[in-house]
Structure 1
Amino acid sequence: MARKARKQGTGTNSFLARLVGRAFGRLGRAGGLVFLVAGLALSGWGAYEAAYTAGWAGTHGTLTVKECEESYPNNASRSSRKNRRPIRCDGTFVSDNGKSEDANAAVQVRHRYEPGTELSVQQTDPPTTDDATDGDYVQGGMDRAWRFLGAFFGGWVLTGLGVFCLVTGYAPFGQSRISYNAAWEASARGVTRPAVIGMIGVGLVGAGVSFLVSYFF
């Protein structure tokens, strides 16, 4: 009876071990999926913002400031109010080619400007009607564009980590059913390892260079 009980206990422990192993395997792939989605989202957002702030997309023009207002969220803490000051400048936008004009233009900036100041902005979406106030604008500048490019390349790093975890099942956090060494060896089969190294390498170099170049503008 004691021997039978030991066998049953061993079988139960083995079953639980396999169950936990499969759970951590799925956790690794789930974590990889999170990294992958986050990386793609970050790269997409960085590319979108960089295209407009650099003037590669949208309509470039000048916004002549009428007034700037600084506002804080009602629930913002004192420290966050000190570090983050959203400022909205209203004015008239005129495109460089003279084909687009918006007397109700507004742009979010980081500094307050005096009335009459001319800001270089990019129109991302024109107003739906002549009297509408739904036009979208961003303040241009290559320094900001390079920082957004840094975010674009930073997304490559997360994407590479996501691909690695998704393919191998390695969990980057907590206990992993698959060790890092085993996952790294498994990634050598096929194109997984070169793809991961390429994405992470390009992401790190691109992000570093982008943020470094942004300080020279």
Structure 2
Amino acid sequence: MQPELTPLAPTAALPRPSIMGRVLGGLFFVLALVTFGFGLYNAAHAAGLAGTHGTLAVERCWVEQGSRNSSDTKVCGGTFRSDNGKIIDDQASIRAEVKPGSKVSVQQAGNGYVKVGFGETTRWIAMFFLGWLVVAFGMSFAVTGMFPRSGMQVAMITRAVSGTRVGMVRKWLVRGGLAGSGVCLLLTLSAWLLS
């Protein structure tokens, strides 16, 4: 006599399509646009394509305490002087680890400053590619309208679109996002190791 087979856990069912699933997908698209914009904005400044170029004479460094969800950040500040000498800011700061007394090539970006260089540029471009992953994650919810209530349902919704055109686009976005961000982060690391 064989024991009766019973499932160990109840199987999750796909949720019904609703406006909440489409809103969730839309939120991921908005988050991706912010990620794209932030990454490209800072990459353009780090590459010297936008903003005012100058030098930051680092006088002091400190650690800004992160919130519960983020880690502490090292910030260094001092005096920024533009290359043309027209802009002098004695309250300038950047989020980077540099030694007090050093001079750092920076680009003025709005009210802040971005460190200039190849490694910094590729680091910000990596963020652009991470935006592709955000789009890919939200596509399934936007297209199906399904709002997941558990991790199991997220996987099921993703699997539900896997054989469709949306699934193909999603697959290429994931591959491109992972490859692009991986290459950029390797270039950033190599630039950091060579400096």
TM-score normalized by structure 1? 0.65
1:21-170 map, 5 Å:
22=16, 25-65=18-58, 67-70=59-62, 72-73=64-65, 84-95=72-83, 98=84, 100-115=86-101, 117-125=102-110, 135-170=111-146
TM-score normalized by structure 2? 0.71
Which residue type is aligned with residue 62 of structure 2? E
Deviations along 1:47-88, whole A, 9 cap, x unmatched? 1111112222112222234x2142545x979xx8xx624333
Which residue type is aligned with residue 185 of structure 2? F
| Alpha-carbon distance in 1 for matches of 2:98, 2:37 | 30
Percent of paired sites with the same residue:
28
RMSD in angstroms over aligned alpha carbons? 3.2
Aligned residues: 175
1:103 and 1:160, CA in 2 relative to 1: closer, same or farther beyond 3 A?
A: closer
Secondary structure, in 3 states, of the residue corresponding to 2:97?
A: coil
Which residue type is aligned with residue 54 of structure 2? G
Report whether the alignment pairs 1:184 with 2:162: yes
Quick check: 1:120–1:140 contact (8 Å CA) kept in 2? Answer: yes
1:166 and 1:148, CA in 2 relative to 1: closer, same or farther beyond 3 A?
A: same
Which sections of structure 1, spanning at least 5 residues, go unmatched?
A: 1-19, 126-134
Secondary structure, in 3 states, of the residue corresponding to 2:88?
A: strand
Flag the structure with larger Rg: 1
Shift of residue 156, structure 1, vs aligned partner: 0.6
Secondary structure, in 3 states, of the residue corresponding to 1:215?
A: helix
1:27 and 1:101, CA in 2 relative to 1: closer, same or farther beyond 3 A?
A: closer
Secondary structure, in 3 states, of the residue corresponding to 1:86?
A: strand
1:173 and 1:32, CA in 2 relative to 1: closer, same or farther beyond 3 A?
A: farther
Secondary structure, in 3 states, of the residue corresponding to 2:43?
A: helix
